């Protein structure tokens, strides 16, 4: 069993912040990433939490991401917010983008945020959840370096390319949160198994010859398995259009890997759409959502997407989070 230590969310945020700053990240860029790391651990998505801090630090030090970057915001149209992340962390670009996106959506009923020259944005649902907490329906798309081969092919052309939808609830938390990649499992999970020397389940990845494999290293050299076969490829292509083609970001087939130190900044992109439900459905939105929720939760054993994260989040706020001691050792080494 992996040895762990319980930490509060405040302690996780503080440790993440100090490690990022020690690696050469500005405080302005380190803080939103540290906040997101703590929130990710609270949601139980450990593969994108503290385990990523040493990778972020390595990428700052090798130049894959500019820890001192200052994202630039423009307003090309009344309903469009655009941010050039300047090869820095996505979280800083999203932060300044949301400051303009949220009021624009409230004023106009709908608005979009297009981010280019960006980096891995972590858990996409973390960002759409913020829109839901602002009373908006949030849709998010982010492209990634190519790791999924097209139907009938063997060479990856699109990334795992997650999309997310978050719907506001009465208690300030999302009533429903869909957050899923186009692959059967997030690539970070395969990377985590590779780091830990563990086999992966069949169905997660394919080797370079297109055959199912339980070897995570072979899967990382081959292709991630698309969720639902050709349907998963379709989702990946949709996200590529939204997050790369429509933002002016680098296509996944041309982006450097999020792992390792080679290739320079990936310059990928994100797209967020924020909708004020009062502008499109008036009072009918609440009734419609109530009907959906009741139809699902009214069935024994059934649950809505996002229910698991909500439960873990509430427990983490109360009891803290169990964190791998090995991960903590790697982070503490960054602090000397």
Cβ atoms 117, 265 nearer than 8 A: yes
- Among 189, 223, 227, 259, which one carries the catalytic annotation? 189
Distance CA 321, CA 9 (A): 7
Distance CA 258, CA 122 (A): 11
Q: C-alpha dihedral over 144, 192, 61, 41, to 10 degrees?
A: 90
- Among 41, 48, 92, 147, which one carries the catalytic annotation? 48
116's enclosing H/E stretch is strand 110-118
**The pair of three-digit structure tokens given for residue 104, joined into one six-digit string:** 């624009």
Q: Is 84 helix (H, G, I), strand (E, B) or coil?
A: strand
Reply yes or no on whether 164 is catalytic. no
Q: Is 141 helix (H, G, I), strand (E, B) or coil?
A: strand
E-assigned strand segments in 198-252: 205-206, 212-213, 223-224
Reply yes or no on whether 189 is catalytic. yes
Reply yes or no on whether 259 is catalytic. no
Distance CA 91, CA 231 (A): 29
**The pair of three-digit structure tokens given for residue 205, joined into one six-digit string:** 């990845």
- Among 26, 47, 92, 259, which one carries the catalytic annotation? 47
- DSSP-derived pairing of the beta strands 80-84 and 110-118: parallel
Cβ atoms 249, 143 nearer than 8 A: yes
**The pair of three-digit structure tokens given for residue 206, joined into one six-digit string:** 């394919």
Active-site residue set: 47-48, 189
């Amino acid at each position: 069993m992996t040895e762990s230590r319980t930490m509060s969310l405040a302690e996780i945020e503080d440790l993440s912040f100090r490690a990022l700053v020690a690696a050469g990240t500005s405080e302005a860029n380190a803080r939103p990433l540290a906040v997101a790391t703590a929130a990710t651990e609270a949601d139980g998505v450990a593969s994108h939490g503290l385990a990523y801090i040493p990778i972020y630090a390595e990428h700052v030090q090798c130049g894959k991401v500019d820890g001192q970057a200052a994202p630039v915001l423009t307003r090309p149209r009344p309903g469009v917010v655009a941010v050039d992340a300047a090869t820095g962390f996505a979280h800083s670009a999203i932060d300044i983008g949301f400051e303009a996106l949220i009021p624009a959506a409230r004023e106009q009923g709908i608005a979009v945020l297009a981010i280019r020259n960006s980096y891995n944005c972590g858990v996409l649902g973390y960002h759409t959840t913020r829109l839901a907490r602002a009373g908006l329906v949030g849709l998010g798309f982010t492209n990634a370096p190519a790791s999924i081969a097209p139907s009938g092919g063997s060479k990856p052309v699109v990334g795992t390319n997650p999309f997310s939808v978050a719907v506001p609830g009465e208690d300030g938390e999302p009533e429903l949160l869909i957050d899923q990649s186009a692959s059967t499992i997030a690539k970070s999970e395969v990377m985590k198994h590779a780091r830990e020397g563990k086999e992966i389940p069949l169905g997660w990845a394919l080797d370079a010859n297109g055959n199912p494999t339980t070897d995570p290293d072979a899967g990382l050299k081959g292709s991630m398995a698309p969720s639902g076969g050709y349907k998963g490829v379709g989702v990946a292509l949709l996200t590529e259009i939204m997050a790369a083609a429509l933002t002016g970001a680098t296509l996944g087939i041309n982006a450097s890997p999020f792992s390792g130190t080679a290739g320079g900044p990936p310059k990928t992109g994100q797209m967020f759409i924020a909708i004020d439900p009062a502008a499109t459905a008036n009072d009918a939105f609440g009734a419609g959502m109530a009907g959906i929720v009741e139809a699902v939760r009214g069935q024994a054993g059934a649950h809505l997407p996002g229910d698991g994260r909500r439960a873990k989040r509430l427990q983490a706020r109360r009891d803290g989070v169990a964190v791998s001691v090995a991960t903590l050792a790697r982070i503490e080494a960054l602090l000397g």
